[in-house]
Amino acid sequence: MSNIAFVRTEMLPEQAPPASAVGLIGWVRANLFSGWFNTLITLATLYVIYAILAAILPWAFSPTVGAGSLAECREILAESGKTGHFAGACWGVITERWQQLMFGFYPNGSDGVSADLRWRPVLAFVLLAVALAPVLFADKVPSKMIWFTAAFPFLYPWLHWGGSIWGPISALLGFVIGWFVFKTAEKVSSSLIGMISGVVAALVWWLTLSGFFSNALNSILPVGIEPVQSRLFGGFMLSVLIGVIAIACSLPLGIVLALGRQSDLLIVKAICVGFIEFIRGVPLITLLFVASTLLNIFLPPGTQFDIILRVLIMVTLFAAAYMAEVIRGGLAALPKGQYEGADSLGLDYWQAQRLIIMPQALKISIPGIVSTFIGVFKDTVLVSVIGLLDPLGLSNGIRADANWNGIVWEIYGFIALMFFVFCFSMSRYSMYLERKLQTGHR
Amino acid sequence: MTTVSDPPKEGFRLSQLIYDTRYRSMTIQIVALIGFLTLIFWLINNTATNLAELGKEPSFRFLSEPAGYDINQRLLDYQSQDTHLRAALIGLLNTLLVAVMGCITATIIGVIVGVLRLSKNWLVSRLMAVYVEMFRNVPVLLWIVFVMAVLIETLPAPRAFRGDNATASMMLNDSVAVTNRGVYVPEPLFSRGLGDIHLLGDSSLRFDVSLDLIAILIVLGLGFFVSHKIKQRADHVQETTGDRPTTWYLRLGVVSLPFIVLLYALGFHLGYPELKGFNFRGGTHMRNSLIALWLALSLYTAAFIAEIVRAGILAISHGQTEAAAALGLRQNRIMNLVVLPQALRVIIPPLISNYLNLTKNSSLAIAVGYMDITGTLGGITLNQTGRELETLLLLMLCYLIISLSISAVMNWYNESVKLRER
């Protein structure tokens, strides 16, 4: 057996993989053209995409940004040789009306009576991002910022409606008073008595004394900004306003409802379940009808407050029911050991909730809260049905304008794009958060 | 709770209501109940005072007064002289019609898109992702008015179908006409029909039941029953002998033959829409408002369903498929016996809650003028009679009943497929 002529003793150098298996070509072959069926599907999809783009792009790229009316748009398009129904978009309407779609009829200085106040909602929106930062990016922002977040719910409406600064301050004082009464009563007697007396004290303050307080301080030291009436609100400003206030107010309400639904107290549980299921069982539009026609009838005779406030109340109740379910999910997702651990430390119910349960449950539910917010924000379009001037409500007015009579796609497209940008970025954020909070194994 | 020594026997003191955990929950509940009842009483009292001031004592008598408005899209017969109750009933049926149609198409589109999103073809999965994100992130009301605008602006008017050089033509062998006034589809007609039964006489809730339809349903039901029996017999034979008899032609025959014979006996034919004057006559007319609402709701809900389906399929771990393959099951058997039953457990509960959302969103019909229950009872009836409290209560009650029955179905399903854990 010694006639073996050649035995290789060293390895051959590695060859590069074939060009058709790596890089762009390899990727295309593996993902788009792996077999005749896949190729067929790819070609069909390419054709669909081409058809859609070929229909939309030539329409969208039309040189009509500067036009002042639909007739002018048509002239411009006819000059460039395009006629017919879908010759091109008339972007002049967006150039002329985008500020209205953003701010509604918020004073912009054009009527000569009031100054340009649109910086206020813009500032409020920017501050909203600042106030949200400690909640959403807790690991990147100094934790002291949370105090600003706590004060923001009072700052935000004030920046929109304006008026005396003592109004929001006296509203804030209600919470402070309630807290002090709770603390003193808790020391003197039990926490239950403390809680009841704290709530009662805050209610007494808001319902009776706060009005006198703010009026008195206002006559002594009138500090404030120019008030703006609700009927001037509109556009995306209104959508964001309703969405943000509804979510901010529904969060505490939702926590209470979720705790009530989880509790052992039968009557409390029944009330909470009844409320949640009722609100979740009816469409928002019926609740908005209640806001527009019935809410004043439910309140003491002579009570009149404006439609935006009534809508805010109903949207808050609506969001609270959904929020309660989200937080209940967070509570249910906590391991039982956390509850038992808190009990074995000797904490009472509220201490356990405050120190152990809620911080964890709320953290788990943030993605759900964000999606609830997206839902509520999208649902704010419904207020156009009861006559408020949100973007869709404004679009009817714009389409009825003599200059723009006949405009359809441009406005809807613009509104849809705005909603898309906002909701899509929110949902991406919530997905990022979900990944970050994911500590389990799969 | 067991105690080491006997607790000291003491009489009941008032402070135990607050400090003693045995009684404290009682105190809290009673305080909550009193607070709740006070709130309710306060609201009712305010309402009664306000309504008395306005001279509108609550009464439901308006329901039996003539409505005086027309409803163009309807399932039952209705004239403008009918009562408000009848109008509300027509509206309720319209709500259910668009909800059922929407749920079916949304499921079909959603399942297809959800499966395609998992496609290995990059282009297809991206395209489906674009679809899902586009529909999920724009309000449904905007989609509804948008689709309505598409229908009105882009479809040909009925007169485009007329003349020698017509610019539009009917589809599917001249049977379906798609116009900007709606879609005309053929309607089933019976030349030797059995007629209708009129139920509930002349009251507001009267409705007709077609005997033809009942006969068809009975024959189909019997056919499926016999077919099921044949399948059971085939299963039995397979279990005892190991050979499965070929039964598909028998099963197809027992369902379809009696059905075809019955249709022939009843003189079944289709009534085609025809262009007469300025509009189409004959056939079933589905108005733009219905189509727009149906399409928009289906496309919008389908985007959510697609995500649910995708999540459901991804939730089944690979181990399940591999274990089934190791048992020697074939690919379709693995799908039917292992993957689908587990995926459905994940998919169905959110799917049903999406059906519920679709039904609630159908109340946005009011934006395109489709007369659903929000449009009739909560729209024109409310405005005509000025009975806000009564109409809105009835409206909410209707939606609550629909929602609660859907969630009852969901709870029943969840209970029946729940994992039996030790």
Nearest to A283 among B29, B121, B363 (CB): B363
Whether B382 sits inside 8 A of A271 (CB atoms) is: no
pTM here is: 0.88
The number of distinct structural domains making up chain A is 4
Cβ–Cβ < 8 Å for B102, B297 = yes
Q: Which residues of chain A are under the pLDDT cut of 70?
A: 1-2, 85, 438-442
Q: Average pLDDT over chain B, rounded to whole?
A: 86
C-alpha–C-alpha distance, residues A361 and A420, integer Å: 29
How many residue pairs bridge chain A and chain B with CB atoms within 8 Å of each other?
157
For residues A5 and B52, the model is more confident at B52
Nearest-CA distance B128 → chain A (Å): 10
Answer whether residue B167 shows pLDDT above 80: no
Contacts of B192 (CB under 8 A, 6+ apart): B265, B266, B267
- What is the predicted pLDDT for the residue at B263? 87
* Contacts A289 to B, Cβ<8 Å: 378, 382, 388, 392, 395
Backbone angles phi, psi at A22, to 5 degrees: -125, 175
At B279, which helix (H) or strand (E)? strand B279-281
As a residue count, chain A comes to 442
Backbone angles phi, psi at A432, to 5 degrees: -60, -40
Enter the ipTM. 0.87
Nearest to B29 among A267, A277, A416 (CB): A267
Nearest CA in chain B to A48: B127
Answer whether residue B354 shows pLDDT above 50: yes
Q: Give the residue from A178, A200, A219 where a domain finishes.
A: A219
* Contacts B395 to A, Cβ<8 Å: 286, 289
Backbone angles phi, psi at A133, to 5 degrees: -55, -45
Nearest-CA distance B385 → chain A (Å): 13
C-alpha–C-alpha distance, residues A414 and A157, integer Å: 27
For residues A134 and B391, the model is more confident at B391
Q: Are residues A327 and A236 in the same domain?
A: yes
Contacts of B365 (CB under 8 A, 6+ apart): B94, B95, B98, B289, B293, B371, B372, B374, B375
C-alpha–C-alpha distance, residues B316 and B347, integer Å: 11
Q: Are residues A259 and A195 in the same domain?
A: no
Nearest-CA distance B173 → chain A (Å): 26
Q: Are residues A271 and A190 in the same domain?
A: no
Whether A301 sits inside 8 A of B122 (CB atoms) is: no
Whether B32 sits inside 8 A of A297 (CB atoms) is: no
Nearest to A294 among B127, B141, B392 (CB): B392
* Contacts A293 to B, Cβ<8 Å: 382, 388, 392
Nearest-CA distance A170 → chain B (Å): 25
Nearest to B53 among A38, A285, A301 (CB): A301
Nearest CA in chain B to A293: B388
Nearest-CA distance B124 → chain A (Å): 7
Whether B392 sits inside 8 A of A290 (CB atoms) is: yes
Residue A419 has which token pair? 């909603």
Mutate to test the interface with B, among A343, A420, A424 (most CBs of B within 10 A): A420
C-alpha–C-alpha distance, residues B170 and A21, integer Å: 50
Whether A420 sits inside 8 A of B134 (CB atoms) is: yes
Nearest to B142 among A45, A271, A412 (CB): A412
Whether A266 sits inside 8 A of B29 (CB atoms) is: yes
Answer whether residue B200 shows pLDDT above 80: no
User: If you search the block for the tokens 């029909």, which residue do you land on?
Assistant: B193
Residue B278 has a CB neighbour count (10 Å cut-off) of 10
List chain B domain ranges.
Answer: 16-54, 59-137+288-422
Cβ–Cβ < 8 Å for A256, A317 = no
- What is the predicted pLDDT for the residue at B3? 52
DSSP per-residue codes, A409-436: HHHHHHHHHHHHHHHHHHHHHHHHHHHH
DSSP per-residue codes, B281-328: ESSEEE-HHHHHHHHHHHHHHHHHHHHHHHHHHHHS-HHHHHHHHHTT
- What is the predicted pLDDT for the residue at B8? 59
Q: Are residues A366 and A418 in the same domain?
A: yes
Q: Could you report the per-residue pLDDT of B251-292, keeping only the tens digit for each?
A: 899 889 988 998 888 888 888 888 877 778 777 888 889 999
Q: Which structural domain, as residue segments, surrounds residue A234?
A: 228-437
The gap from C-alpha B186 to its chain's centroid, in whole angstroms, comes to 24
C-alpha–C-alpha distance, residues B300 and B147, integer Å: 11
The DSSP call for residue A294 is I
Nearest-CA distance B366 → chain A (Å): 8
Q: Could you report the per-residue pLDDT of A110-157, keeping only the tens digit for each?
A: 777 777 888 899 999 999 988 888 877 777 778 788 888 888 888 898
Nearest-CA distance B221 → chain A (Å): 34
Q: How many CA atoms lie within 13 A of B361 on its CB side?
A: 28
Q: How confident is the model at residue B68 (pLDDT cuts 50, 70, 90)?
A: confident
Three-class SS of residue B271?
strand
As a residue count, chain B comes to 422
Answer whether residue B13 shows pLDDT above 80: no
Query: Taking every pair of C-alpha atoms in chain A, what is the biggest distance, in angstroms?
Result: 116
Residue A322 has which token pair? 């959904």
The CATH architecture of the domain made up of B59-137+288-422 is Orthogonal Bundle (1.10)
Whether B399 sits inside 8 A of A392 (CB atoms) is: no
* Contacts B137 to A, Cβ<8 Å: 374, 378, 419-420, 423-424, 427
Whether A409 sits inside 8 A of B399 (CB atoms) is: no
Q: Are residues A173 and A267 in the same domain?
A: no
Sign of CA dihedral B137, B138, B140, B146: negative
Mutate to test the interface with A, among B133, B142, B167 (most CBs of A within 10 A): B142
Nearest to B149 among A299, A300, A412 (CB): A412
Q: Are residues A280 and A370 in the same domain?
A: yes
* Contacts A42 to B, Cβ<8 Å: 121, 123-124
Strand partners, B285: B184
Whether B382 sits inside 8 A of A385 (CB atoms) is: no
C-alpha–C-alpha distance, residues A70 and A406, integer Å: 8
Residue B171 has which token pair? 């589809």
* Contacts B124 to A, Cβ<8 Å: 41-42, 45
Residue type, B396: M
Cβ–Cβ < 8 Å for B293, B367 = no
C-alpha–C-alpha distance, residues A277 and A328, integer Å: 13
- What is the predicted pLDDT for the residue at A441? 44
- What is the predicted pLDDT for the residue at B213? 86
Mutate to test the interface with A, among B152, B363, B366 (most CBs of A within 10 A): B363
* Domain contains A304: yes
Nearest to B120 among A31, A297, A298 (CB): A31
Nearest to A297 among B47, B136, B141 (CB): B47
Nearest-CA distance B248 → chain A (Å): 30
Q: Are residues A208 and A299 in the same domain?
A: no
Residue B146 has a CB neighbour count (10 Å cut-off) of 19
For the packed helices A235-262 and A92-103, what is the interaxial angle rounded to 10 degrees?
40
Whether A31 sits inside 8 A of B142 (CB atoms) is: no
Nearest to B51 among A42, A297, A385 (CB): A297
Three-class SS of residue B36?
helix
Residue B352 has which token pair? 């049903």
Backbone angles phi, psi at B389, to 5 degrees: -60, -50
Strand partners, B176: B171
Whether A424 sits inside 8 A of B133 (CB atoms) is: yes
C-alpha–C-alpha distance, residues A241 and A112, integer Å: 26
Residue A49 has a CB neighbour count (10 Å cut-off) of 14
* Helices and strands, number each (H, E), in chain B: 14, 9
Nearest-CA distance A103 → chain B (Å): 19
Nearest CA in chain A to B317: A442
DSSP per-residue codes, A245-295: HHHHHHHHHHHHHHHHHHSS-HHHHHHHHHHHHHHHHS-HHHHHHIIIIIH
Q: Where are the alpha helices (DSSP H) in A162-207?
A: 166-188, 191-204
Q: Could you report the per-residue pLDDT of B285-298, keeping only the tens digit for each?
A: 888 899 999 999 99
> How far is CA B282 from each of CA A175, B31, B111, B160, B195, rounded to the nearest angstrom?
68, 66, 35, 18, 19
Q: Are residues A255 and A195 in the same domain?
A: no
Whether A283 sits inside 8 A of B25 (CB atoms) is: no
Mutate to test the interface with B, among A39, A70, A381 (most CBs of B within 10 A): A381
Nearest-CA distance A101 → chain B (Å): 15
* Contacts A85 to B, Cβ<8 Å: 153
